[in-house]
Amino acid sequence: MKDKGILVVVSGFSGAGKGTLMKRLLQEYDNYALSISMTTRLPREGEQDGRDYFFVTKEAFEDRIAKDGLIEFASYCGNYYGTPKEYVEQQLAAGKDVILEIEIQGALKVRERFPKALLLFVMPPTSKELERRLAGRGTESPEQIQRRLERASEEAEGIECYDYIIVNDDLETCTKELHSIIRAAHGTPGRNEAFIENMRQELKALVKGEK
Ligand code: 5GP
């Protein structure tokens, strides 16, 4: 009677620490599956195809779009990023809460297509800290950092579309908070329609003396 897993969208400015947070969430708790996105951007130092992303050509990406193989996709800082459909559907059906770590345009498309998705936005404690983390990562050029900060400023305009914001100051606290929010979301009436409807039917039957 329990509803299937929840589709959880996690967005946040580049450099807000989402990647580390997701890794920790999956290490600490069992019930999550992390979707691996497809992208046309080049791998960063240390990134692996099939683990961090499926790195593909523009042609392969567009072919996937044409075959309706993506739940959503968006263009971000000159590259395509998208969520492959099959894995997400399988994991949700198996009762897992599936995490999509995606940017805001994609998040809004997910909300349209899956109104029961839970949308979370990870924020750094301050804008200066964001700049520090982006520079400290050492994987982007100053121009790319500038582009990502500009993008963060644009994305900040859309935060109200999300259900919750989570401030990533301390990793442990933030991981627990994220997990608690997702657990709590399992208890909303909108995510338990079948259970509620069954209860109603049973109560009606009981009142009539049928059971
Ligand atoms: P990065 O290049 O730093 O790995 O990712 C850039 C941005 O793209 C991040 O905000 C990340 O969350 C987002 N992103 C990663 N995968 C996807 C995806 O499948 N769809 C969308 N819409 N955004 C994605």
Question: What local confidence, expressed as pLDDT, does residue 4 receive?
Answer: 83
Q: What is the CATH number of the domain that holds 106?
A: 3.40.50.300
Q: Report if residue 61 sits inside a domain.
A: no
CA dist., res. 91 & res. 71, Å (int): 14
End-to-end CA distance of the chain: 19
Q: What is the pLDDT of residue 31?
A: 94
- Ligand 1 probe mutation, 14, 56, 76, most atoms within 8 A of CB: 76
Each residue's pLDDT tens digit, 88-126: 999 999 999 999 999 999 999 999 999 999 999 999 999
Centroid of ligand 1 to alpha carbon of 77 (angstroms): 10
Give dist(CA 104, CA 206) in Å, integer.
47
Q: How far, in Å, CA of 106 to CA of 11, rounded?
A: 9
What is the whole-number distance in angstroms between the Cα of residue 187 and the centre of ligand 1?
29
Ligand 1 binding site (Cβ under 6 Å of any ligand atom): 14, 37, 41, 72-74, 76, 81-83, 101-103, 105-106
Q: What is residue 77's predicted lDDT score, i.e. its pLDDT? A: 85
Full residue range of the structural domain in which residue 179 is found: 7-35+96-207
Identify the residue whose C-alpha is closest to ligand 1 atom 2.
41
Task: Establish if 74 belongs to a structural domain.
Answer: no
Average pLDDT over residues 36-53: 95
- Asked if residue 204 has pLDDT above 70, the reply is yes
Q: Kindly state the helix (H) or strand (E) to which residue 8 belongs, with its residue range.
A: strand 7-12
What pLDDT sits at residue 17? 87
* Residue 86 lies inside a defined structural domain of this protein: no
CA of 144 to the centre of ligand 1 (A): 15
Mean per-residue pLDDT of the chain? 94
SS3 136: helix
Q: How many domains does the chain have?
A: 1
Task: Give the mean pLDDT of 169-181.
Answer: 96
- Which residue, 24, 97, 84, is CA-closest to 53? 84
Across the range 19-27, mean pLDDT stands at: 94
pLDDT at residue 136, rounded to an integer: 86
Q: Determine the distance separating the centroid of ligand 1 and the alpha carbon of 196, expressed in angstroms.
A: 36
Atom 3, ligand 1: which residue's CA is nearest? Answer: 14
Identify whether 193 is part of a domain.
yes
Q: Is residue 87 part of a domain?
A: no
**Does 82 reside within a domain?**
no
Residue 70: inside a domain, yes or no?
A: no
Note whether residue 135 is domain-resident. yes
Mutate to test the pocket of ligand 1, among 49, 103, 130, 161 (most ligand atoms within 8 A of CB): 103
For the residues 62-85, what does the mean pLDDT come to?
Answer: 96
What pLDDT, on the 0 to 100 scale, is given for residue 3?
57
Q: Give distance in angstroms: CA of 44 to centre of ligand 1.
A: 13
Amino acid at the residue 75:
S
Residue 2: its pLDDT value, please?
Answer: 56
Region of 68 on the Ramachandran plot (φ > 0 left; ψ -120 to 50 alpha; else beta): left
Tell me how far the alpha carbon of residue 73 lies from the centroid of ligand 1, in angstroms: 9
Q: Give, using CA atoms, the residue closest to atom 1 of ligand 1.
A: 14
